[in-house]
Structure 1
Amino acid sequence: MGKNRNQRKKNKPLSKKRSPKIVVRTLFVGAALFLFFGSLAVRLTQLTLFSGERVEKFSEQQRFRSVKLHAPRGYLFDRNHNELAVSIPLMSAYINPKKVTDARSAARNIAFSIEPKNNKKRNILFRKLLAKLKSSSNKKFVWISRKLEPKTYAGLKKKNIKGIGFVSEYKRFYPKRDVAAKIIGFCGIDNQGLSGLEYHYDDLIEPVQARAKVRRDAFGRVVSMPKTLDVSEGAKPINMILTIDERVQYIAERALERKVIETNAKGGIAIVMNPHTGGILAMAEQPKFNPNNFSHYNPERWKAHAVSHAMEPGSTFKVFVAAAALEERLTSSRDKIYCENGKYKIGQRIISEAHNSQYKNLTLLEVIAKSSNIGAVKLAERLGKEKLFSYLTSFGFGLKTGIDLPYENSGLLRPVSSWSLGSLPSISFGQEVSVTPIQLATGISVFANGGYLVRPHLVLAYKRDNKLEKIIKPYIRHRVISEATAKTVVKIMEGVVTSGTGGKAALSGFEVAGKTGTAQKIDKLTKSYSSDKFLSSFVGFFPANNPRLVILVMVDEPEGIAWGGSVAAPVFSEIASRSARALRIVGRNTDRYVIDWSRMTNTNNDEVVSNKSNASGTKDLNFSGLLSIIKPLM
């Protein structure tokens, strides 16, 4: 019995007992699998039903990539759309030093390709390249030479030097070379504006950091280039149309250059300005520079001295004193001013006339025409310090004009509290005050436009992709004097040319209004007025009865005769005469014609040009079968 019982116990199946750890692990794995597949199902549902845009975006990222575009800098044109500053595509060379096995051989071949003729330059370049390759052996990119000339690029590429690559860049180029160089300025190696308008408007005309999409294949390789895709409007550069007229600029530069050479002067400035709008048609300077090779010149040459340099104006300042006195009704054109017989004592100082002239009673017109120092002092005394200062600041002196060029100087007109006993008489004839040439031209424009102070400017309009984007409107700052006073001053300034010191500024067929100036310069060693260094000037406008152009001419330190009427006035006349022809400004002696198209008849094919007047007094001109009746306009 016992044996059988034991046998039954032995044959009884054993019950399975699970360890608690196994149970926990099983539950954990199950839960993890449930969460994973559950999340996957939710995500798939979300992607299928709700995320079409995100899937499309992801797909686009896989198929496309963004690349940087090297956009050109905006062009600069004159008012007639002649190119003054352009961007030309050139190739730049770089090298991967890691791929260079023989640095010396590579440097020698590169130097020979870039400087094939000049041994000295080639050796210098060779040493620089060799040092650069050795110091950059762990780098993958090193510039060799930026913006190569096409011939140099072709020669370097032909060498097939290991590790060399090329990339296209744009270089700034100035096709007119030194014409208007100080206005336009120049750019650096990375096309950043460094001077002139290039610097002032750098934010507008610099290349926009544009990007474009390129298509990639499954391996990430580019299969289409940016030029096959559209570039956004905002990425296209802004081109600027300037107020400058290339013809007038050239005329002013050549006339000024001849006078500076003739008188062996230190330099000179000429400005041609529209007195009604403030637009600058020309701003010429001597000496000048070529912006294509700006690094070859002293940096002082880069600046537009017409804007950045202030100087004592001399007798040109007398018209502003006269205008203030007229506006305050303290004098009139027929008023007689006693000029003390050539000597006028103020305190311990004696004021005398130029050429030691001895004037007694002069009318206001004669005071300005003969450029009487004592007459100007007497007018200033009638005004008093406060009113004189107020009018001079209203004319813009002591303040920046706001012209769109860098480094503008505000000049010097000290507050009345800083004036001495001799300040009022000195300022009345252009001493103890300094002005920039652009301030003087802008101040004279007040008389030419009927009494308003305008802001001078150099940009006429903006264009993008040949579409006009913005027109710069003239800005009138304020009225300075009444129209009646302005007209009286114009008549007085005409007298300077017809019967005064400015006779050499006369212009055939036109009435000219202007004022001469001969300012003594300060001797830097003695700190007093020099006896042989002068600034000769003439500033005026024409036609006097309907002014079109204000022209200022300054010649710095001419040798020999230095009077403004002898040195600067003839330059004014030349610039005015040639500019009038270029701009078709009609004068008294200008022939004007009209074609009577109704009387045109067909004739034979022989070209006949007849200069003989017919019975009716008109001139018949027959050009290749066309008969035009041209009648002179009265």
Structure 2
Amino acid sequence: MVFFAFVLFALVILFKVVKTSLWEGEKWREQGGKNIKWIEIAGERGNIYDTHGNILATSLPYFDIYVDLVTSSDEDFNNNIGPLSEQLSKHFGKTADEWEVKLTAERQAGINKKKPGSRYYPLFKRVSKDQLDLLKSMPLFNLGQYKGGLMYERKNSREKPFKNLAYRTIGLDRKNAEKIGIEGAYDAFLSGQVEKRLMRRLPGNVWLPVMDPEVVNQKRGGDIITTLDMHIQDIAHNELLEVLTKYDADAGCVVIMEVATGAIKAISNLGRRADGDYSEVYNYAVGRNSEPGSTFKLMSAMALLESGHVELDDEVFVNGGKKKFYNLTMRDSENHGHTTMTFKEVFEQSSNVGMANAAFEAYGKKSQWKDFITELEKLGIHQMTGIQINGEKKPFIKDPESYNTQQHNAWSGTTVPWMAHGYELTMTPLQVLNFYNAVANEGKMMRPYLVKEIYEEGKCISKMQPQVLKEQIASPSTILKAKALLKGVAESGTAKRLKVKNTSFAGKTGTTRLNYWVQTGSKEYNASFAGYFPADNPKYSAIVVVYNPKGAYYGSQVAGPIFRNIVQRLSGLEVYALDTNEGDHVPVMRAHSGYKNDFKKVLEFVGVGYNESGRNRWGDVATKEDVLAIEDKKILKKTVPDVRGMGLRDAVYVLESLGLRVEHHGMGKVSKQTIRPGTPIKGQVVEIYLR
């Protein structure tokens, strides 16, 4: 009897197995597939660094925290909920009673099956690794996932410590859109190893890994070392931002390049957003084609010099600064009254009529048009730079073969004189700069580059060497003459008011009328300056372009001061060791502010005497009658303090402790703050700029 009962029971089980696998198998497999699946997870993305090892982009882990409030035994839960609530209150806000009531209620709802989500209660979003470790150590949670109920999902957030500095060039790692900048161009190297991870779905459509996220060891992506120097980048960014704001410009860019190698040391692109602030919304330096205006006169001058059509001391007809070519009238920026100028003076004073006349005399006839383009192309202006990131536009140079056609931008009888002073062709700021860099580099045109090394697992797998685009853009004699012209602009020409103390530069101002074919209505301009420094032994070349400034528009007024300030500040970056045998006086910069004890420790360590007054923790350091003095700095609880002269750490601590939110830009000491000291505190956001 027992035997037959056992056989019957076995047959029933067998029937259910067959039924489930054959008739209902697809249904249950489908159901299981909805709750368990393999998902591709990318490993940690590699870092991007500047040339000094400062992190420009990095992936920081964060964690979403969930708790299974039902899995713990009554004994474990009841013994630990009180201490756990106290710890949560201490570190994450709310009172201990609030935590205990909430978690107990959620647990009870789960036990009674009134709230299935209580088995996977979302505790916190986006907590740091330190916060996760803290949670793991708390009562109840320290019993492990199956007894304490703590679960988490690891995610990564791409962060840029320097925020808006070189933001567009460093690029964006976007999931649902094209990656841009270095992030996009080197995605294959930066991306971590993709692996499949088994995930299970929880109530609320939350997917968590079956295995502990920390157990899965994926190969992280490679690291990129760039040519960018964030000290120089900070200078370029802030000088550009100040002028854009002053002249309410639409946008602007600055590029600074190492003459000998083509390594880009800084590239700043700022455009005005809808809210009126400026940020890196587009890479103008690489991607915006426009008529260069007077900075192109260097190319025209070199074409004329190289072909033998003109010499520096040749007389050129300028007709008082006004001349008609066919049906179009050309004017200089002012009615100077000169009938003639030497070709050198034409360039230095940026005479549109003079440069146009010189080119028209040489290439004005139809049979000569092609020769003009040939000479320009010999200089290499038709080439793209081949910069390592995507988005570079190709230069547009008109083709004489398009004359008398219906083609858009066709050649005309006025093309030569207008092209000679920078119209009827387009180039990007980087392409213009690369030409000036070639002149500074004795005629050798380099390929601009941003990435110099790639590392995988701590080993260098690729090292980029400087590349030559064109060994010689012109003869050595023409290069010498071009340098003389550019130096003349700085010394006695349109840039003579931009002189820099203790160093020299050479370059060319540029002013471009955007809608020059429109006779009525408001006029729009671009202001630019391209050059290099020092003039006689160039180390860096740079270009500045400001798009549509208001109130002033000449290159010497708008872009030139940015270039000058960059030259001045870069020439002062070198730090020289002090020879203590030369004297007893130690030079100390004024306007240092910060935590008094820090200053005292440093000064005592180096053996420098000082006088201290006051009892405040915060102080100002200055020299008074050759004696170093540390004096109290007034910090009032209800008004915005003056943090200029402080380092970043001290400034952020002081401002945030008073209830202000802080956004910081740059490196060094605070040089500017956006809220005036003494302003009543109302929880504002204060921006501080460091130099």
TM-score by length of 2: 0.61
Deviation (angstroms), 1:154? 9.3
Indicate if the aligned counterparts of 1:520 and 1:531 stay in contact, CA closer than 8 A.
no
Partner of 1:485: 478
Deviation (angstroms), 1:374? 1.7
- Pick closer, same or farther for the CA change 1:224–1:557 going to 2, 3 Å: closer
Is 1:370 the counterpart of 2:349? The answer is yes
- Aligned amino acid, residue 467 of structure 2: Y
Is 1:564 the counterpart of 2:555? The answer is yes
Deviation (angstroms), 1:468? 2.4
- Pick closer, same or farther for the CA change 1:369–1:298 going to 2, 3 Å: closer
Alpha-carbon distance between aligned partners in 2 of 1:300 and 1:574, rounded to the nearest angstrom = 21
Indicate if the aligned counterparts of 2:153 and 2:213 stay in contact, CA closer than 8 A.
no
Partner of 2:510: 517
Alpha-carbon distance between aligned partners in 1 of 2:418 and 2:560, rounded to the nearest angstrom = 24
Deviation (angstroms), 1:421? 0.6
Partner of 1:259: 243
Is 1:400 the counterpart of 2:384? The answer is yes
Indicate if the aligned counterparts of 1:71 and 1:208 stay in contact, CA closer than 8 A.
yes
Partner SS state of residue 408, structure 1: coil
Is 1:240 the counterpart of 2:224? The answer is yes
Alpha-carbon distance between aligned partners in 2 of 1:116 and 1:189, rounded to the nearest angstrom = 34
Partner of 1:326: 305
Deviation (angstroms), 1:299? 13
Alpha-carbon distance between aligned partners in 2 of 1:327 and 1:185, rounded to the nearest angstrom = 41
Deviation (angstroms), 1:369? 0.6
Partner SS state of residue 532, structure 1: coil
- Aligned amino acid, residue 579 of structure 1: L
Correspondence for 2:463 among 471, 476, 482: 471
Indicate if the aligned counterparts of 1:277 and 1:454 stay in contact, CA closer than 8 A.
yes
Task: Pick which of 440-449 and 358-367 moved more.
Answer: 358-367
Partner of 2:166: 180
- Pick closer, same or farther for the CA change 1:208–1:396 going to 2, 3 Å: farther
Deviation (angstroms), 1:260? 1.0
Partner SS state of residue 553, structure 2: coil
Alpha-carbon distance between aligned partners in 1 of 2:212 and 2:524, rounded to the nearest angstrom = 71
- Aligned amino acid, residue 527 of structure 2: S
Alpha-carbon distance between aligned partners in 2 of 1:480 and 1:273, rounded to the nearest angstrom = 18
- Aligned amino acid, residue 71 of structure 1: G
Deviation (angstroms), 1:373? 1.0
User: Gaps spanning 5+ residues in structure 2: where?
Assistant: 1-37, 72-88, 95-115, 198-209, 403-410, 588-604, 609-691
Task: Pick which of 535-544 and 498-507 moved more.
Answer: 498-507
- Aligned amino acid, residue 515 of structure 2: I
Spell out, residue by residue over 1:582-624, the C-alpha distance to the aligned partner (whole angstroms, 9 max, x if none): 256xxxxxxx78969xxx9xxxxxxx93479xxxxxxxxx976
Alpha-carbon distance between aligned partners in 2 of 1:299 and 1:148, rounded to the nearest angstrom = 31
Partner of 1:129: none
Is 1:553 the counterpart of 2:541? The answer is no
Deviation (angstroms), 1:205? 0.8
Correspondence for 2:584 among 590, 599, 609: 609
Spell out, residue by residue over 1:508-553, the C-alpha distance to the aligned partner (whole angstroms, 9 max, x if none): 2222111011101128xx8679753111111111111111111111
Partner of 1:316: 295
Partner of 1:37: none
Alpha-carbon distance between aligned partners in 1 of 2:272 and 2:320, rounded to the nearest angstrom = 45
Deviation (angstroms), 1:78? 0.5
Alpha-carbon distance between aligned partners in 2 of 1:432 and 1:485, rounded to the nearest angstrom = 25
Alpha-carbon distance between aligned partners in 2 of 1:423 and 1:529, rounded to the nearest angstrom = 23
- Aligned amino acid, residue 345 of structure 2: E
Spell out, residue by residue over 1:336-360, the C-alpha distance to the aligned partner (whole angstroms, 9 max, x if none): 2222333323222232222133322
Partner of 1:500: 493
Deviation (angstroms), 1:164? 9.2
Q: Which has the larger radius of gyration?
A: 1
Partner of 1:353: 332
- Pick closer, same or farther for the CA change 1:271–1:470 going to 2, 3 Å: same
Partner SS state of residue 354, structure 1: coil
Partner SS state of residue 235, structure 2: helix
Alpha-carbon distance between aligned partners in 2 of 1:318 and 1:451, rounded to the nearest angstrom = 17
TM-score by length of 1: 0.66
Deviation (angstroms), 1:70? 5.2
Partner of 2:615: none
- Pick closer, same or farther for the CA change 1:428–1:164 going to 2, 3 Å: farther
Deviation (angstroms), 1:400? 2.4
Alpha-carbon distance between aligned partners in 1 of 2:134 and 2:546, rounded to the nearest angstrom = 48
Correspondence for 1:416 among 378, 390, 400: 400
- Aligned amino acid, residue 206 of structure 1: S
Deviation (angstroms), 1:150? 6.4
Q: Percent identity?
A: 25
- Aligned amino acid, residue 374 of structure 2: S
Alpha-carbon distance between aligned partners in 1 of 2:64 and 2:425, rounded to the nearest angstrom = 51
Deviation (angstroms), 1:423? 0.8
Alpha-carbon distance between aligned partners in 1 of 2:350 and 2:214, rounded to the nearest angstrom = 71
Indicate if the aligned counterparts of 1:397 and 1:412 stay in contact, CA closer than 8 A.
no
Correspondence for 1:430 among 422, 441, 460: 422
Spell out, residue by residue over 1:425-467, the C-alpha distance to the aligned partner (whole angstroms, 9 max, x if none): 1111111111111111111112101112221111111122333
Alpha-carbon distance between aligned partners in 1 of 2:416 and 2:536, rounded to the nearest angstrom = 33
Deviation (angstroms), 1:195? 2.1
Number of equivalent positions: 477
Spell out, residue by residue over 1:393-412, the C-alpha distance to the aligned partner (whole angstroms, 9 max, x if none): 34444442211122211132
- Pick closer, same or farther for the CA change 1:87–1:394 going to 2, 3 Å: farther
- Aligned amino acid, residue 209 of structure 1: V
Alpha-carbon distance between aligned partners in 2 of 1:179 and 1:90, rounded to the nearest angstrom = 24
Correspondence for 1:457 among 449, 458, 462: 449
Alpha-carbon distance between aligned partners in 2 of 1:286 and 1:330, rounded to the nearest angstrom = 41
Correspondence for 1:202 among 172, 187, 212: 187
- Pick closer, same or farther for the CA change 1:398–1:149 going to 2, 3 Å: farther
- Pick closer, same or farther for the CA change 1:342–1:193 going to 2, 3 Å: closer
Spell out, residue by residue over 1:143-163, the C-alpha distance to the aligned partner (whole angstroms, 9 max, x if none): 999855669979999999999
Indicate if the aligned counterparts of 2:270 and 2:279 stay in contact, CA closer than 8 A.
no
- Pick closer, same or farther for the CA change 1:273–1:169 going to 2, 3 Å: same
Task: Pick which of 449-458 and 357-366 moved more.
Answer: 357-366
- Pick closer, same or farther for the CA change 1:444–1:153 going to 2, 3 Å: same
Partner SS state of residue 564, structure 1: coil
Is 1:89 the counterpart of 2:73? The answer is no
User: Gaps spanning 5+ residues in structure 1: where?
Assistant: 1-65, 100-112, 118-136, 213-220, 290-294, 585-591, 601-607, 613-621, 626-634
Partner of 2:76: none
- Aligned amino acid, residue 250 of structure 1: D
Indicate if the aligned counterparts of 1:521 and 1:530 stay in contact, CA closer than 8 A.
no
- Pick closer, same or farther for the CA change 1:520–1:224 going to 2, 3 Å: closer
Is 1:287 the counterpart of 2:271? The answer is yes
Correspondence for 1:78 among 1, 26, 50: 50
- Pick closer, same or farther for the CA change 1:392–1:166 going to 2, 3 Å: farther
